[in-house]
Each structure stands twice: as structure tokens, then as C-alpha cells.
Structure 1
Amino acid sequence: MAADADLITAVIVDDHAAIAAGVRYWCAQATPPIALVDAGDRLADVWTGPGADADVVIFDLELVPGRPEFGELRRLVDSGRRVVVYSQHADDATAIKCIDLGALAYLTKREGPEHLVPAIRAAARGGDYTTPSLSGALIADENPGRPRLSPREVEVLRAWFAALSKELVAAKLHITVKTVDTHISRVRAKYANVGRAARTKSELVSRALDDGVITLHELNQPTW
């Protein structure tokens, strides 16, 4: 890892020089800056030289057109590397598969520095980061092990995790406490129906973390 504990280093593997140049600029402009190693399309540079010591791997899933590198992603994760996938693929199935393989974040190349930089920082700490595209993929996911939560259920759930009381959730979302209870009860029922009971708030938090509905970084933010 980086010699300076305050400096995050990342290595980007991407066969498009313009993408790498853009990411380098975003990282240089971040506060504090993120040091970036450009490996081009050379996967070997992730394992040797400066890339081997990088805190985070920013990984273009498709270095060869038409051949997503899921095997290389698995290899990186299995070796303990912290991976942020930065891909041209915007389909839900690809995003979900990358998260299932252990990527800490999945971003499409339409998502810029306002998401990529926080995702790199979260991954450097070993945490995950849920972008708008990934959040949508998780909501639409048809994996039988994941309940299909509505956008409103996700909104209420995330607000409840961040709040000190259901009354505060109701006030923030301009709904009644009874409606908050109804949404949470529906979420619990959906988890029970897929064999993943969540009878307590802590169990529900655990399920939501597993499914990417919320991240550890978000949970660690001050409550309101």
C-alpha cells in the first residue's frame, strides 16, 4: 500500500487513453489528491511495479471488445485487491455480476468524478460505494435471493438507517409514521419471503449492506 498513510494510490487498467487521462485529471483535482498509475491495457502492470502497491484497482471490464474480463476481476478480488469497476456496460446484469464477484463499486463511464472519486476513497478503506446506476440495478435485480424493493421502500429504509427515530424519517419524507412502519414491514416481509429474515433493525441493516442498498460509509455518517 501507499507509503504515506494519507495518500491514496490507484492503478487504472483501461485501453482508452482518453478515459485514463480524464481519470488522472479528476484524481489530481481531488482534495486531497489521489495518486494514479496508468497501466493502459496491461493487466500485468497491476501485479508488478507501482501498480502492485496501489490501494485501489480501477478496472475496465472489457479490455478486449466483446470479452468482459470476469475471470480477471475474480482473480483480483481473490488476491485481496480492492477493485472499482469502471465500465462502458450499463446493463444491470453486468453490474450485479461484478458486485457478486467482489467489486467494491460499479460505475458506468457516464458517471463522472462526483462518483468515481468517492468510490475510490471508499474502496481504499475497504468499503463499498453505491452509485445511482448500481442502485437502480439492485432495485431491478431478479436474483431469487434478493427481494425486489420498490424505490420508495429503498428511500424509507435508507432514511430510517440514518435517523434516530421513525418520527424524524416521517418528517424528512413528508409522510406519516404509520406509512414509515408500513414500508418497513413490507421490506421485512420481502426478505422473509426469500429466506433471509430480518426481524430486527440490525438484521435489516446487515441485509441492506449485503445487497448494496446502503454502504458502510453512509452508515458511518452522522445521524439526524
Structure 2
Amino acid sequence: MTSTSEPTASIRVVVVDDHSLYRRGLQMVLSTEDDIEVVGEAEDGAAAVAVVEELLPDVVLMDVRMPRRSGVDACGDVRAVAPSTKILMLTSSEDEDDLFGAIRAGANGYLLKDVPAEDVAESIRAVVGGQSLISPRMAGLLLGEFAAISRRGPERAAVAEGPRLSPREMEVLRQLARGLGNRDIAGVLGISENTVKNHVRNILEKLQLHSRMEAVMYAVREKLVELS
């Protein structure tokens, strides 16, 4: 009797962009990846929500600026209809308001469209694996904002009075704010990677946040870490 192994499930992706040629180009690039499947598309944020609700993809690749409804505006509804779906903004906008708006809305990453084509697939895998991604040119803006927040005092007393994190959750949050991934945090704290994932999930639930990046902003704002 011969046994066959189950094929690895593909990462299911929905592409949202108002330019049809760009959507087709992304589909062509991603079609060469054995572990990624484009299962749907939409031309704006309004259509994206309906498509995501129907297909429940693993990842949404979404532009920021689109007619009818922007990608940032759609993020909240995408999360409402598909809480486990990761949102990766793929845009030409280098506007810091778009970057900060996307993070506040719960995006898991913000990439510029000039990223090499082969990096798009790696970025999809990374957000599915729990990472938060920011294009290097935009990361400087984010770090500058973090530093400014850090120099200011805590601004929301109500947050400080909210649900308390355990000592271990605080340690995990500090490591997140230093840019470490789950595996590196596990090594630093001497715990398993699965335990780190559980702590991260609990942190986000307790603080009512949507992404690791939001958790980093919280840690800096509340002076749990200092940035130069």
C-alpha cells in the first residue's frame, strides 16, 4: 500500500487595485509561486469588502488611494468580515498620513509599488507568518514618529487604566517594539515560538489593537521603550 502526503494549502490572496493592468501583472507574478493562489480581485475599497467577505482569503493586497473608497477606509470593514485575513497595503503613496492611517486601521504591512516583484511573494508569506512589514523608505517616517511620541509623555490616561498586561506580556511587547519577530523573541525570553504567538494574540486582544505595528506604537507612546 502506498501512502500519499496531503499537499500544503496555498496562501489565498485577493488583489485590490483600481488599475486593471496592475492587478493582472500581480496575478501573473504570483501565479509562478507554488504556495500562493490569487482567488479574487476588486477595483476599490468598497468592492474589496464584499469580495473578502465571500472568499475569506488569507491575505488582501490592497492599494491605498482608489476611487469610491480608499484602502485605508476599507481596512476596518475587511477586518470585521474576515478577522483572520492579513492586510498588506501595496501602494505608490509615500504620504506619511497614508502610512499612519493604514497602521491605525490595522494594516499588517505597507509596501511601495517599486518593491521588486519577487519580494511581493515573500512579503505575503511574512505577514501570514505574523510579521509586520514596512518599506525601508517609509520606515524612516515611522521611526521618526515613534521617537516624537516617545519624547512626549503618555497622552491617554484612559489606556493606562485599561486591561493590565502580565509581566511576560510586557516583556513580549517590549521585544515587539524593538522590531523582533516571534522566533527571535522566543530566543531572547527562552520560551517557545507558539507561546510567543499566544502572548501576542493576548496583548492585541487586551489592548483592543489590530496589529503588531499598533502594539509597537502603544509601547512607545506609553514609554515602555525609549527611542533615540
User: What TM-score bracket applies, with the shorter chain setting the length?
Assistant: 0.5 to 0.7
Which residue of structure 2 aligns with residue 98 of structure 1?
A: 102
Equivalent residue in structure 2 for 1:35, among 32, 37, 47: 37
Which residue of structure 2 aligns with residue 64 of structure 1?
A: 67
Equivalent residue in structure 2 for 1:9, among 4, 12, 19: 12
Equivalent pairs: percent with the same residue?
A: 20
Larger mean CA deviation between 46-55 and 85-94 belongs to 46-55
Alignment map for 1:145-164 (pairs within 5 Å): 146-147=149-150
1:222/1:19 CA distance change after superposition, 3 Å: farther
Which residue of structure 2 aligns with residue 167 of structure 1?
A: none
Which residue of structure 1 aligns with residue 119 of structure 2?
A: 115
CA distance in 2, matches of 1:142, 1:50: 34
Post-superposition Cα deviations, 1:15-56, rounded to whole Å, max 9, x if no partner, equal: 1122212221221233x4410134231543653489623111
Letter in 2 for 1:71: D
Equivalent residues of 1:45, 1:52 under 8 A apart:
no
CA distance in 2, matches of 1:55, 1:44: 17
Consecutive unaligned residues of structure 1, counting only runs of 5 or more, are 148-189
Equivalent residues of 1:10, 1:36 under 8 A apart:
yes
CA distance in 1, matches of 2:51, 2:27: 20
The answer on 1:216 being equivalent to 2:181 is yes
Post-superposition Cα deviations, 1:126-175, rounded to whole Å, max 9, x if no partner, equal: 4322331332221222685x33xxxxxxxxxxxxxxxxxxxxxxxxxxxx
1:130/1:54 CA distance change after superposition, 3 Å: same
C-alpha displacement at 1:116, in angstroms? 2.2
1:92/1:44 CA distance change after superposition, 3 Å: closer
For the aligned residue pairs, the C-alpha RMSD in angstroms reads 3.7
The count of aligned residue pairs is 169
Which residue of structure 1 aligns with residue 90 of structure 2?
A: 86
Letter in 1 for 2:144: A
Secondary structure of 2:66's partner? Answer: coil
Equivalent residues of 2:108, 2:127 under 8 A apart:
yes
